[in-house]
């Protein structure tokens, strides 16, 4: 209760000085752009390096069984560009955001397999995390559409019609139930890559403890604290407890990690060669800086889309199947109320 009172007072103080409606709108827009960022970048990347993508598809071996490898490898990159471009356009233009979300959901699900990267667990689970963010966005779009439909249905019924009111209420309850389930599924998927990091860190801790080489005590403590922190914050997101704050913190960390781990904007100007050690099947392959940076750029924008996925939870909340909103939507004073106006 003390923390809830503190946050309520904090938002009230901020609201006096800042127009939270505008802040919330910008947060919504930022989250939406970030989550589709990897799809926008990949569509442009494939378009600008079409020959390279054709060569990659030949290497993956699609169509070999049907003796259609050459034909498929020529067509598949065009399909990749169209699928992602259409999905992004539908989401950002607000023309058919639900159709756009579904298109990008399907693409995110099959993308690792199309490039034979299903053994790259981090890559695969980052795609699952992005799917979680898209599910949260989809739940919001479906709820908005259901509310608009309910208002139209209520307006068309007679004001005093009990049957009309009952039907509208039942439709709204069904929409709320569907939204709650989608948000729960979205939270679980959203946590996928962080569960991977937890398991990976535990495995590394076990190896270090059983190794003959002694680790520095300070580093062991730091890794231990990080492990516990990540484990707790991931669990809170899945449970839906203080999930907005947890997602906001993880989004900041992941944004900083993207800048640190994938500095394509620095390596692209280099004249040296690099090993593609982060791409499964190419670990020992030395490539020019531009090709290395091209792959780094993809992973950079994928991680930014992970940030966007987390921001979807910040914007739309954890839903009814959570500790935070078990008794109704969270009211962060005017943050969500004004944003929904």
Bridge partners for 287 per DSSP: 274
Where along the chain do its domains lie?
20-339
Non-local CB neighbours of 44 within 8 Å, separated by 6+ positions = none
State both tokens at 212. Answer: 């003959």
Q: Tell me what pLDDT residue 254 has.
A: 93
Residue 157 is predicted with a pLDDT of: 58
pLDDT on residue 337: 41
pTM for the predicted model, two decimal places: 0.83
Position 217 scores a pLDDT of 76
Question: Shortest CA distance to 234 belongs to which of 285, 259, 205, 197?
Answer: 197
Record the tokens describing residue 233, joined without a space.
């914050």
Average pLDDT by stretches of 10, the chain with 341 residues: 64 59 82 94 93 86 71 90 96 92 96 88 92 93 80 61 58 78 93 93 83 74 88 93 92 93 88 81 80 89 94 89 74 44 41
Distance CA 317, CA 322 (A): 9
- pLDDT of 339 reads 42
Of 77, 59, 53, the residue nearest 280 (C-alpha) = 59
């Amino acid at each position: 209760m003390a923390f809830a009172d503190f946050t309520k007072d904090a938002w009230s103080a901020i609201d006096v000085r800042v127009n939270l409606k505008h802040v919330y709108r910008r947060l919504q827009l930022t989250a939406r752009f970030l989550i589709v960022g990897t799809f926008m970048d990949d569509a442009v990347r494939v378009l600008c390096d079409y020959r390279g993508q054709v060569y990659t598809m030949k290497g993956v071996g699609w169509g070999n069984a049907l003796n259609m490898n050459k034909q498929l490898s020529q067509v598949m990159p065009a399909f990749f560009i169209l699928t992602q471009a259409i999905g992004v356009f539908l989401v950002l233009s607000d023309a058919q955001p639900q159709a756009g979300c579904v298109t990008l959901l399907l693409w995110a699900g099959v993308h690792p397999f199309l490039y034979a990267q299903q053994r790259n667990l981090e890559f695969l689970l980052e795609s699952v995390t992005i799917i979680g963010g898209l599910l949260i966005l989809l739940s919001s779009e479906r709820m908005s559409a259901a509310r608009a439909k309910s208002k139209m249905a209520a307006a068309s019924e007679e004001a005093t019609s009990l049957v009309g009111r009952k039907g509208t209420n039942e439709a709204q309850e069904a929409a709320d139930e569907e939204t709650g389930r989608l948000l729960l599924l979205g939270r679980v998927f959203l946590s996928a890559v962080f569960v991977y990091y937890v398991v990976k860190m535990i495995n590394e801790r076990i190896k270090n403890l059983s190794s003959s080489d002694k680790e520095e005590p300070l580093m062991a403590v730091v890794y231990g604290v990080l492990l516990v922190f990540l484990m707790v914050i991931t669990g809170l997101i899945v449970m839906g407890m203080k999930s907005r704050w947890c997602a906001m913190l993880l989004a900041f960390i992941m944004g900083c990690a993207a800048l640190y781990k994938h500095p394509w904007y620095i390596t692209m100007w280099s004249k040296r060669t690099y090993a593609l050690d982060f791409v499964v099947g190419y670990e020992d392959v030395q490539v020019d800086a531009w090709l290395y940076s091209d792959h780094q750029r993809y992973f950079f924008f994928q991680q930014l889309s992970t940030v966007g996925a987390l921001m979807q939870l910040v914007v739309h909340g954890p839903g009814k199947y959570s500790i935070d909103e078990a008794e109704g939507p969270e009211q962060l004073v005017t943050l969500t109320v004004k944003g929904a106006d």
